[in-house]
Amino acid sequence: MADHRAKSNDPLAALRRICLSLPETTERLSHGEPTWFVRDKKVFVTYANRHHDDRIAFWCAAHDGVQESRLAEDPDRFFRPPYVGHRGWLGVYVDGPVDWADVEDLVEEAYRIVAPARLAASLDDES
């Protein structure tokens, strides 16, 4: 995946660059927040600008067990988001120091989970 690390202190701009670099991704507001969809249908990442607290974060689809392991690894950086946390989605704070390479990996994995198999496989063709 291309390097989309933040060029400024704007986490939304950095996250937007990462998400929109993936094939057939669209962005629109959902529940008042910027949200990214595969083929304009399935959500894989949503931004959370102080949506439920005073923190800036994003929520992303994650494989089974990832939420639990990331929360155990760093509870100051990761959390169980409302509404989708019970489905294993991961919350990631981006209002402090951010490991953008890790964010890229998380976003790409979220995309692969949601995207149709052929579209997800196209990421391997780009490498």
CATH numbers and ranges of domains, the chain: 11-126 (3.90.1150.30)
Predicted local confidence at residue 50, as pLDDT: 73
> 28-37, pLDDT tens digit by residue?
999 899 999 9
pTM of the model: 0.90
Among residues 2, 110, 93, 97, which one has the least CA distance to residue 52?
93
At residue 125, the pLDDT reads: 82
Residues 53-101 have pLDDT tens digits of 789 999 999 999 999 999 999 999 999 999 899 999 999 999 999 999 9
- What's the full length of the chain, in residues? 127
Q: Contact at 8 Å (CB) between 110 and 61?
A: yes
